[in-house]
Structure 1
Amino acid sequence: MTRTRPRSPFRTAALAGTAVLAAAALTACSGGSGDAKGGGKDTAPETRISVNLSGSRAKAGGPVTVTLAEGRLQRVTVTDSKGATLGGTVSADGRTWTSARVAAPGTGYTVEARSADGGTARADFATAAPDRVNKLTLAPGRNSTVGIAHPLSIVFDHPVRNRAEVEKHLKVTTSNGTVGSWGWMEDWSGKDRVDWRPKEYWKPGTKVTLKAELNGVDSGRGGGWFVRDYSTDMTIGRNQVVAVDLDSHRLKLLRDGREVRDIPMSGGTPGGDKASWSGRTVLMSKEGTINMRSETVGLGDAYDKMVDYSMRLTWSGMYAHAAPWNARHMGNANRSSGCIGMDTPDARWVYEQVRVGDPFEVTGGDAKGTQAPNNGYGEWNLSWADWQAKSALR
Structure 2
Amino acid sequence: MEMDGIRSAERAGPTARNGRSRWRLTLAAMLTGTLLLTAACSGDKDDPSWQGGGDGAAGASSAPSAEPTLSTVAVTSPAQDAKSVELWSEVKFDSEDPDNTEVKVTNAKGDEVEGTLDKDQNLWRPSESLAWGTKYTVTVTTPAADGKNNSATSSFTTMKQPSNLVRVTSFLGDGQTVGVGMPLIMKFGRAIPEKYRAEVERRMVVTATPAQEGTWRWISSTEVHFRPQAYWKANSKVFTDVKLKGVELGDGWYGRSDLTVDLKIGREMILTVSNKTKKMTVKQDGKVIKTIPVSLGKPSTPSSSGTMVIMEKAAHTVFDTTDEDPVNGYKTPIDWAQRITYSGQFIHAAPWSEGVQGKRNVSHGCVNVSEALGQWLFQRTMMGDVISVTGTEDKLKNGNGWTDWNMSYAEYKKGSYL
| Shorter-chain TM-score tier | 0.7 to 0.9
TM-score by length of 2: 0.70
* Cα drift, residue 322 of structure 1: 1.2
Residue 179 of structure 2: which of 141, 147, 155 is its match? 147
1:313 and 1:319 in contact (8 A); partners too: yes
1:255 aligns with 2:284: yes
Pair 1:337–1:80, CA change in 2 (3 A): farther
1:4 maps to none
1:192 aligns with 2:192: no
1:379 and 1:387 in contact (8 A); partners too: yes
2:115 maps to 87
Pair 1:59–1:306, CA change in 2 (3 A): same
Deviations 1:96-150 (A, max 9, x none): 8644579768442332536553778674624132231111222532112221111
1:146 and 1:355 in contact (8 A); partners too: yes
* Cα drift, residue 387 of structure 1: 0.7
2:129 and 2:243 in contact (8 A); partners too: no
Q: How many residues align?
A: 336
Deviations 1:199-240 (A, max 9, x none): 111221222111112222212237x21132211122222221
2:369 maps to 342
1:229 maps to 258
1:49 and 1:66 in contact (8 A); partners too: yes
Comparing 166-175 with 294-303, which one deviates more in the overlay? 294-303
Comparing 378-387 with 243-252, which one deviates more in the overlay? 243-252
**What percentage of aligned pairs have identical amino acids?**
25
Deviations 1:170-189 (A, max 9, x none): 11111222121111112xxx
Pair 1:238–1:132, CA change in 2 (3 A): same
Aligned counterparts of 1:75 and 1:376: Cα–Cα separation in 2: 48
1:315 aligns with 2:342: yes
Aligned counterparts of 1:63 and 1:105: Cα–Cα separation in 2: 12
Letter in 2 for 1:262: T
1:75 aligns with 2:113: no
1:377 maps to 402
2:159 maps to 127
1:104 and 1:227 in contact (8 A); partners too: no
- Uncovered stretches (5+) of structure 2, i.e. residues with no partner: 1-72, 143-148
* Cα drift, residue 378 of structure 1: 0.4
Aligned counterparts of 2:118 and 2:267: Cα–Cα separation in 1: 47
Secondary structure of residue in 2 paired with 1:347 = helix
Deviations 1:247-299 (A, max 9, x none): 3222221223332222222112223xx22121110111222211211146668
Larger Rg, first or second structure (1 or 2): 2
1:58 maps to 84
Letter in 2 for 1:391: S
Residue 289 of structure 1: which of 316, 323, 326 is its match? 316
Aligned counterparts of 1:118 and 1:89: Cα–Cα separation in 2: 18
Higher helix share: 2
2:294 maps to 265
Aligned counterparts of 1:80 and 1:101: Cα–Cα separation in 2: 18
Secondary structure of residue in 1 paired with 2:254 = coil
2:80 and 2:154 in contact (8 A); partners too: no
Q: Aligned-pair RMSD on alpha carbons?
A: 3.4
- Uncovered stretches (5+) of structure 1, i.e. residues with no partner: 1-46
2:352 maps to 325
Aligned counterparts of 1:101 and 1:343: Cα–Cα separation in 2: 53
Aligned counterparts of 1:53 and 1:74: Cα–Cα separation in 2: 19
1:48 and 1:70 in contact (8 A); partners too: no
1:164 aligns with 2:164: no
1:147 and 1:239 in contact (8 A); partners too: yes
Comparing 104-113 with 137-146, which one deviates more in the overlay? 104-113
Q: Where do 4+ consecutive residues of structure 1 move more than 4 Å?
A: 47-51, 53-57, 66-74, 90-93, 100-105, 118-124, 295-301
* Cα drift, residue 163 of structure 1: 0.5
Deviations 1:40-83 (A, max 9, x none): xxxxxxx99787368796142662547689999743214389x7
1:268 and 1:339 in contact (8 A); partners too: yes
1:104 and 1:217 in contact (8 A); partners too: no
Letter in 2 for 1:246: N
1:323 and 1:343 in contact (8 A); partners too: yes
Aligned counterparts of 1:179 and 1:92: Cα–Cα separation in 2: 26
Letter in 2 for 1:211: D
Aligned counterparts of 2:284 and 2:102: Cα–Cα separation in 1: 58
Pair 1:300–1:339, CA change in 2 (3 A): farther
Pair 1:169–1:92, CA change in 2 (3 A): closer
Letter in 2 for 1:77: V
Letter in 2 for 1:165: E
Secondary structure of residue in 2 paired with 1:380 = coil
1:277 and 1:369 in contact (8 A); partners too: yes
Comparing 309-318 with 299-308, which one deviates more in the overlay? 299-308
2:240 and 2:260 in contact (8 A); partners too: yes
Secondary structure of residue in 1 paired with 2:372 = helix
2:139 maps to 113
2:275 and 2:392 in contact (8 A); partners too: yes
Deviations 1:7-53 (A, max 9, x none): xxxxxxxxxxxxxxxxxxxxxxxxxxxxxxxxxxxxxxxx9978736
